[in-house]
Chains A and B, each alone.
Chain A
């Protein structure tokens, strides 16, 4: 790793002092275990008397279960038992995926196993428990189900039609949720506009495709009344609450352990029916139960994302100033709203974030969310952002083309000025500490778009269509209680850190933030060592265990560094203060004359100090030697919460340059640039890797990924060979740069950086492609932008 170091935050002291680790690209020594095959993923765990399960899942998108006969299957080798909804419901109460803070949401009760009706292909209806997964799968084939297939409501666009199939008759129609935002007077403004442009974009469903699939081992210990869950999730304390609530257990006696997690991206933060069934089975049998989703199960039961059709309209005056924007978004979420975060959030983000970088005095947004017979849809990396950013930036490009203005210039004259924060988005969301102007300037500097104008012309002569795009966006990070807690969800918006000096002189840190590969452990270590004044290697970290870490929200919505990191900083400062107090008493001097460097308490003016090891030995083993009345605590705990604002936003500017083969329709992304302002970077290399990984997932959505369904609601490409994910060959190198505006909400000043790439890439790629296609009067409006769609746009097929 290059030794990039960035001194970005005066509140943290000089980067050149001893043990300054914040702002340095240090390698993740703790993660080397993965290169030695020493990770501890859920499937690596084997417990005594552990049994395995396989789920019988609905082969139909919509069907009545007339009867289930498990008699023969129960006699199959190695089978311990087979349960249907009846048995599971005895121990697990149903849930409802609605929250109270966003207006009326309507979603019916959902249980681990479907009772009379299956509503998506893949919904679990029975579960075989056996000595091995293979034996459980053998028995699945012997279960006899009498199905009555029903018409399925697959298409979201007809879900509210009078003759639609009503998925939940008790609700009367297929509407889950709707919201309208109305600021100013769009109709009047459109009349006054010199140019009005419109477009409609659609975004296919895609999914997370974590390489490690969802997995859980539930271990009910009757003797202790204790449920231990090994789970590859993102939010252990949320799961603790939910499992206790629905299985009627003492919440304090539910322990969630999340060790190594093979990627999550939001997929693993939801409550899944099959995982709840596993906990119920363990409770019933009093044995450890393991479930690891296979890839087919991942594709048909991991939450899907996107599935939007959005139309938009933008009005500008002749100078390019935006006067009004209007959007109307439709989204299909499958048959249930997911629990406990609901499936309304993606659409809500679309309404909140569209137009967010710009001054738009009149703004109207309508979102409609409907049920359909497909896999449930919910929050995945960059929730709602790709749709919001793509519609905004597509309209802005169109307006620029219409009035004959440069693509960068139209953005620059409409940005909310960097010096005008705190400010508000067009939808009314509070914004602060953003830098669209500086970030776009930086992007243009590193990207040099003039060059691409020339290249475009040269390429055109050669028969190649090339084009470029630039975009700006806001990314939701570091959420406050106003995200979920206010709506009634038991999801902590606060995170805690606990840090101690041990008898050996070692530092132990625990945090409620979890690790799925982002580098949580590494940055927590860097913050703790930096703030305490100790060597990095003297800090060890515990994460992902509700019995061993402070209470908190976990890792989602890019909150680890900004919220969890601030808690670590505060705890480390407290511990330092305690240590210096004790040292001052022992050394008979005043605290202000002391500091900690390289694991030693030192006198600022020189002279003999004391090592932390010696100090700890004195405190723990010879406490009688410290002066009476000295606080002997070598342990400090702190927590942090974003207050007074719904989220801390990050902003990004992105650019890319593409070329299109007119004969094959194949798009090549030649180069991609991202400028991110995430405030303090604790480890710049890890920030860059978050951005790169995010961009690649955004490219996946823009060009390749789609859960393809037929008219009956059967998923057609539920294998890793058929569902196209980005592989190394098609991916470009990504140039990352930064502008630094620290968040004023914390000392550490860090905002999130995990999602901008995924949120912005689809917009800039689509704009670049359309910039290229424009030369021949063509346009694409549907993602993924496949070669076939390009050829269609070119009139070749």
Chain B
């Protein structure tokens, strides 16, 4: 049965090497990462709508629920556990300061989206920030504190 097919792939997660790992051909990347203990990647919908599972794949934000694990062959992946550079530490401090999360379930995805915004070096207005994060669902905060945090980060980074 196709369900049992596996593929052997190699990739890195947060700089750690995974060589010739067997993954079920139908498993999505988020499930695979979580099975390896990278449980910071969360699943909210498994259909690309909520953004909770957003991770970095070869420098780009992807919905890891929409990518098959096997598609990560040869890729450099970065998950929330690996967001530890200076810029991301600053982002986290800003999220903390503004209470830009309550339950924290959306945070890994929000942080990834924030990272993309900051790397784009665009100077966004509050409305534009709102539009940029509109692919990330948060049920708790009402978004304002997230916009506050991102706005502060944009000002500091630029």
Contacts and interface: CB of A to CB of B under 8 A. Distances in A.
B105 A35 contact: no
Contact of B96 (A35, A693, A727): A35
Interface in B28-57: 34, 38-50, 52
Interface string B92-133: 100111110111111110010000000000000011011101
Given A28-B96, A211-B52, A696-B143, A261 B103 contact: yes
Contacts of B8: none
Contact of A731 (B102, B103, B105, B143): B143
A719 B45 contact: yes
Contacts of B127: 729
Contact of A38 (B40, B41, B145): B40
A263 B105 contact: yes
A35 B133 contact: no
A77 B50 contact: no
Interface in B127-144: 127, 129-131, 133-144
**Chain B: interface size category:** 35 or more
Interface string A41-62: 1011000000000000000000
B101 A34 contact: yes
A731 B141 CA distance: 11
Interface in A680-699: 685-686, 689, 692-697
A695 B142 contact: yes
Interface stretch (A457-465, A515-523, A590-598): A515-523
Contacts of B130: 728-729, 731
B47 A263 contact: no
B147 interface: yes
A412 interface: no
Of A37, A135, A697, chain B has the most CB atoms within 10 Å of the CB of: A37
B141 A689 contact: yes
Given A211-B44, A720-B47, A35 B104 contact: yes
**Interface class of chain A by DSSP:** loop
Contacts of B81: 36-38
Given A1-B97, A727-B134, A212 B44 contact: yes
Interface string A714-750: 0000011100011111010110000000000000000
A32 interface: yes
Interface in A356-384: none
A230 interface: no
B80 interface: yes
A31 B104 contact: yes
B103 A260 contact: yes
B107 A34 contact: yes
Nearest to B107: A34
B62 to A, nearest CB: 17
Contact of A29 (B47, B96, B103, B137): B96
B47 A211 contact: no
A295 B38 CA distance: 21
A134 interface: yes
A693 B102 contact: yes
A692 B141 contact: yes
B31 to A, nearest CB: 8
A516 B102 CA distance: 8
Interface string A239-260: 0000000000000000000001
Contacts of B83: 35-37
B137 to A, nearest CB: 6
Contact of B1 (A32, A77, A210, A518): A77
Contacts of A135: 3
Contact of B99 (A28, A138, A262, A295): A28
Contacts of B135: 727
A728 B147 contact: yes
B4 interface: yes
A141 to B, nearest CB: 11
Nearest to A44: B39
Given A696-B142, A734-B142, A263 B46 contact: no
A37 B108 contact: yes
Interface string A285-306: 0000000001100000000000
Contact of A728 (B80, B104, B139, B146): B146
Contact of A516 (B79, B103, B111): B103
B99 A39 contact: no
Majority-rule SS of B interface residues: loop
B99 A686 contact: yes
Contacts of A27: 96-97, 99
A524 interface: no
Given A134-B3, A517-B140, A696-B143, A35 B101 contact: yes
A705 to B, nearest CB: 11
B26 interface: yes
A211 B138 contact: yes
B96 to A, nearest CB: 5
A260 B104 contact: yes
Contact of A517 (B3, B103, B145): B103
Contacts of B4: 77
A265 interface: yes
A114 interface: no
A692 B145 contact: yes
A209 interface: yes
Nearest to B92: A35
B56 to A, nearest CB: 13
A32 B92 contact: yes
A77 B24 CA distance: 14
Most A C-beta atoms less than 10 A away, residue of B1, B44, B133, B136: B44
A36 B92 contact: yes
Contact of B40 (A37, A209, A685): A37
Among B101, B131, B136, max chain A CB count under 10 A is at B101
A718 to B, nearest CB: 11
B15 to A, nearest CB: 15
Given A134-B3, A692-B144, A728-B130, A36 B80 contact: yes
Contacts of A261: 103
B105 A685 contact: no
Given A34-B105, A35-B104, A727-B134, 4 more contacts: A135-B3, A260-B104, A727-B137, A731-B143
16 contacts: A1-B97, A1-B99, A37-B81, A44-B39, A134-B26, A135-B3, A209-B139, A211-B106, A211-B137, A260-B103, A294-B46, A516-B103, A696-B141, A721-B45, A725-B137, A729-B131
Interface of B: 1, 3-4, 24, 26-27, 34, 38-50, 52, 79-81, 83, 92, 95-99, 101-108, 111, 126-127, 129-131, 133-147
The 10 A-B residue pairs whose C-beta atoms are closest, nearest first, are A37-B40, A34-B104, A517-B103, A517-B102, A262-B105, A696-B142, A37-B80, A692-B142, A44-B39, A720-B49
